[in-house]
Amino acid sequence: MKTRVFGLSLVVVAIVVALMPVSVGAQAPGTETSVTVTDVVAGAPLVGKHFTTDLQVSVTSGTLGVGVMGAEIWLGFDPSVVSVYDFDGDPGNGTQVEIKNGFFDGTLLVVANDVFYETPAIAHPPECETQGCIHFSVSHFGDPVTNKTGTVATMTWVAEAIGSPNITILQIDALPGSVLSDADGEIVPINSTSVPDIAVTSVGTIEGVVRRQSTRTDHAGVEVVAIAAGGGVYTASTTGEDGSFTLEVPLAGTYNVDASYPGYLHAGKNSIAVTGETVDIGTAKLVGGDVNADNCINILDVVSIIGDFGLTGLDASDPQDINDDSTVNILDLTVTAGNFSRCGPTAWVP
């Protein structure tokens, strides 16, 4: 447990500053702004794993063309559920989240980039005294942004325990708090905010085996993906030499699994309910002959093999060499002809 003790005078100063009223600049006619924490953009909110979210700012300028020149953002979170993965691996250098050229462009001017797990020693929203806080402030050398939506920062989270991270945008349109500013140093009011409802869950696994028809090498390199039913969590893995794979997914979910390899039809299995730690979905065979990757085996695939017939020294990823023996030959032609008119995804069967 991290602890820090501050002098009484410092605490009093912080409270006084936090309570001081701040004037908000007038909003130009038609100007609309928003600050958004996106849903998970990479990884998965699983205990012991990493996942990322973006902080995006949007502005549509009105008739007077008010632009955004800078942004200061305070985000709260529950440190018992998530912690913040330091962007550059040095927690002491003031670079805790990744500041991006997305909304602001050109040369960025970053004057704050900190994560607090205890009461900050600077003016801060009161919520930061009872929860974790991210604080960053950024502007740029250039013209004010007038009509744009873009990413200002990317946060990488470490899932520590099951529960809600309770990510919140703190104290809008007031300092110390989350504000947008124009080139005159006036606050540009934030019209709307949005934060996703993220739940950290424990890890479940989907296991199985995928074997490729007629391969002359092994069954490694098949890409297997799991997508949450209805969209959402995406997890990918590749098979080992024996065709086995393991997909880590949030426990108590339902998923669709797809397996693919160059020159083969996809194989799929839907509605896999992960209610225990491990679900074994058995063995699937990938059907060979889909040279042009349209998930059907037809005359176009046959013509492609005939056109390259006799070529040698091919990479395993070359789809004309169905069986990965480095040569386009009669074996590739006959497996394609034998599967003529089949389309994927094929059933998840041996």
Q: Which two tokens stand for residue 36?
A: 């958004």
Tell me the CATH class for 203-347: mainly beta
DSSP-assigned letter for residue 28? P
Decide if domain 29-194 falls under CATH 2.60.40.680: yes
DSSP-assigned letter for residue 310? T
Q: Give pLDDT tens digits along the chain (350 positions).
A: 333 333 323 222 232 333 334 444 556 667 899 999 999 998 889 899 999 999 999 999 987 888 999 999 999 999 999 999 999 877 666 678 999 999 998 899 999 999 999 999 999 999 999 999 999 999 999 999 999 999 999 999 999 999 999 999 999 999 999 999 999 999 999 999 999 999 998 989 999 999 999 998 899 999 999 999 877 778 899 999 999 999 998 888 899 999 999 999 999 999 999 988 899 999 999 999 999 999 999 999 999 999 999 999 988 889 999 999 999 999 999 999 999 999 999 999 99
- State pTM to two decimals: 0.65
What is the CA angle 88-90-94, rounded to 5?
85
Q: What is the 3-state secondary structure (H, E, C) of 74-122?
A: EEEECCCCEEECCCCCCCCCCCCCEECCCCCCCEEEEEEEEEECCCCCC
Same fold, 29-194 and 203-347: yes
What does the domain layout of the chain look like in residue ranges? 29-194, 203-347
